[in-house]
Amino acid sequence: MMERKHCNFIKEYRSIQSILIITLLGITMAGLYGQKKPADPLKPVISNLPAANPSEVGMRMDTISHLLELIRQTNHPDFRGLIVFKNNKLVVEEYFNTFWRATIEDIRSAGKSITGILAGIAIDQGLISSVDQRLDAFFPAFSNHKGQPIRIRDLLAMSSGLDADDNNNNSPGNFTNWVLEDDWIQFAQTLPEVFPPGSRYVYNDVCPMLIGEIIQKASGMTLATFAEKYLFAPLGIEEYYWYSAPNGHTVPMGNLYLSTLDFAKIGLLLLNEGMWMGSRVVSQQWIQQLSKPRFDLSSIDPFAQGYGNFWFTGTKVWKGKSIPYYYASGNGGNLLFIVPEFQMVVALTSTAYGQGYGHFRGHRIFETILHAIN
């Protein structure tokens, strides 16, 4: 296992910043149904992960092949990996720009979604009684906090009510004001309440930080150790790298390094409602909750329609039908999509950190893959 060390947590940027790249991708992707070319051969078979040709699972091989060719031929030096599972079979595994199967990549704020899974495991184990449990049950000092009690469900929905907004540099709870503090909980207690908990979505790092601290306190382990024992090891994830803060605690807000394939395996776990190779890793009830949004984001987010439990939700139109999905999203275009209706998982890794086009590119590739389904 790789050593974990501390670093500054790097903020999630979600705005689109490059019209040029958007235009370029719009033009190139429009050619996906043009000239056909054979796809590259699949990588060697992985133990316990059956592989198939896209055409064997009802996907158009020419569309997939053309997509991969476009990615390679256009100037995308920061694109790293693309994995597609369909019907529990590995149908696309491609790496770019010196990346390969074993390379691990910082998935940034997609790590929040992993923390959301770990919260479910903690509930399954009784470490957290339910999403209705109050924050002050773990940190009694919060009982003296002015305002209404904060519950686990509020934290999981980015709805604590605390003055913490990572899109507002003037917010006292902006991550730049506290990530290097020795005592995160003590700092969080100083934040004023600006709206009733559970009433509004505000993207921030305080909420996942508090969830991570709760899991660490309840389990007696660092979040990384808890993840390794109850999530990574069952899935055969051996190489990862999760930063810890100066206080020695795992950073629950992001900065988790995974390979593209291991990132996708987490999606496959969710697709199978918490089961992995015949063993239960997380409860079906919790997995079903991940795809149920608490808040509508359609008016404020260029990609997502909803949010809850540290996962985003959305829909895409396929042959005139609205197809729901849910996904993890990290700065730079690190994305993990789960599409239950199509029994499909799509994982993308990218290092376009701080560049809005990374998200646009990832969503456009995902949409193209959806339209490759017959």
Which residue type, as a one-letter code, is found at position 234? P
pLDDT at 10 over 60: no
Distance CA 314, CA 293 (A): 9
Q: What is the enclosing helix (H) or strand (E) of 324?
A: strand 321-330
Give me the mean pLDDT over the 340-353 stretch: 98
Exposed e or buried b for every residue in 333-356, given b needs 16+ CB within 10 A?
bbbbbbbbebbbbbbbbbbbbebb
Pair 39, 52: CB distance under 8 Å:
no
What is the per-residue pLDDT across 242-287, written as a single tens digit (0 to 9) for each?
999 877 889 999 999 999 999 999 999 999 999 999 999 999 999 9
The per-residue pLDDT for 34 is 33
The per-residue pLDDT for 172 is 96
pLDDT tier, 65 (very low <50, low <70, confident <90, very high otherwise): very high
Pair 66, 35: CB distance under 8 Å:
yes
pLDDT at 5 over 80: no
Domain extents for the chain? 19-111+221-370, 114-219
pLDDT at 38 over 60: no
Share of the chain above pLDDT 90, in %: 79
170: Cα separation from own chain's centroid = 26
Residues β-bridged to residue 280: 275
DSSP state letter for 193 = B
Q: Are strands 344-350 and 334-339 parallel, antiparallel or unpaired?
A: antiparallel
Mean pLDDT of the chain: 89
What is the per-residue pLDDT across 122-155, written as a single tens digit (0 to 9) for each?
999 999 999 999 999 999 988 887 778 999 999 9
pLDDT at 338 over 80: yes
Measured in degrees and rounded to the nearest 5, phi and psi for residue 105 equal: -135, 140
Q: Which segments within 215-262 are labelled E, that is strand?
A: 241-242, 256-259
> In the β-sheet with 295-296, what is the strand arrangement from edge to edge?
89-95, 79-86, 344-350, 334-339, 321-330, 311-318, 306-308, 295-296
The per-residue pLDDT for 265 is 98
The per-residue pLDDT for 248 is 86
pLDDT tier, 108 (very low <50, low <70, confident <90, very high otherwise): very high
Of 38-47, 139-148, 214-223, 356-365, which range is least confident?
38-47
Give me the mean pLDDT over the 333-362 stretch: 97
Q: Does domain 19-111+221-370 have CATH number 3.10.20.440?
A: no
Residues 6+ apart with CB under 8 A from 319: none
